[in-house]
């Protein structure tokens, strides 16, 4: 007599598509969402949005805001105590780090400026994408 494992009834798992059709956004539309095929492209809308916002923020930072920031910084001058600078008063760590501000850019756009304006560009891009997604959700 051969041993045969008993067969148990299979439990049917809901598929991703059935979960999507049961979601709130599909129920509110009143009709089934047609299946769309996506085609491959070199650049997606997300990449173009983030890159465009990054380029805009970097250009604004370099050509518009950098001269104003440099003017205010130079007008402020180094920190002083009792009428002399911190470095002249004996604080050897108060000297400006020249390596951070060394650049080949004619206007003096440094790596710190690049990172800051790049962060601003990414924040603008992701907020634009989030607001677009929210508007599409409300439709």
In a domain, 109, yes or no: yes
Is residue 37 a part of any domain in this protein?
Answer: no
User: What average pLDDT does the segment 84-98 reach?
Assistant: 74
Least confident of 81-90, 116-125, 128-137: 81-90
| Domain range for 137 | 43-73+102-139
pLDDT at 64: 93
Q: How far is CA 44 from CA 36, 39, 98, in A?
A: 16, 11, 41
Number of folded domains that form the chain: 1
Task: Tell me the backbone φ, ψ of residue 9, rounded to 5 degrees.
Answer: -65, 140
**pLDDT digit string, tens, across residues 20-56:** 555 555 455 555 556 667 666 777 889 999 999 999 9
Task: State mean pLDDT over 67-95.
Answer: 79
For residue 88, how far is the Cα from the chain centroid? Answer: 42
pTM > 0.75: yes or no:
no
**Residue 60 within any structural domain of the chain:** yes
Look at residue 95 and tell me if it is in a domain.
no
Q: What is the pLDDT of residue 86?
A: 74
**Is residue 119 one of the residues assigned to a domain?**
yes
pLDDT of residue 124 exceeding 80 = yes
Res 43: pLDDT = 76
Mean pLDDT for the chain overall: 78
In this predicted structure, what is the pLDDT of residue 13?
59
In a domain, 67, yes or no: yes
- The per-residue pLDDT for 93 is 73
Domain for residue 79, yes or no?
A: no
A 10 A CB-CB count for 64 gives 9
123 inside domain: yes
> At 84, is the secondary structure helix, strand, or coil?
strand
Contact 62, 109 (CB under 8 A): yes
Q: How far apart are CA 27 and CA 41, in angstroms?
A: 31
């Amino acid at each position: 007599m051969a041993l045969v494992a008993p067969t148990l009834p299979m439990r049917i798992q809901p598929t991703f598509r059935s979960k999507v059709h049961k979601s709130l956004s599909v129920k509110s539309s009143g009709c089934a969402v047609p299946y769309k095929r996506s085609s491959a492209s070199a650049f997606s809308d997300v990449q173009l949005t983030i890159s465009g916002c990054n380029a805009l923020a970097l250009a604004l930072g370099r050509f518009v805001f950098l001269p104003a920031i440099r003017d205010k910084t130079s007008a402020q001058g180094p920190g002083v105590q009792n009428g002399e600078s911190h470095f002249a008063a004996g604080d050897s760590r108060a000297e400006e780090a020249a390596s951070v501000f060394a650049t080949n850019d004619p206007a003096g756009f440094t790596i710190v400026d690049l990172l800051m304006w790049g962060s601003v560009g990414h924040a603008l891009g992701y907020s634009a994408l989030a607001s677009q997604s929210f508007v599409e959700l409300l439709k």
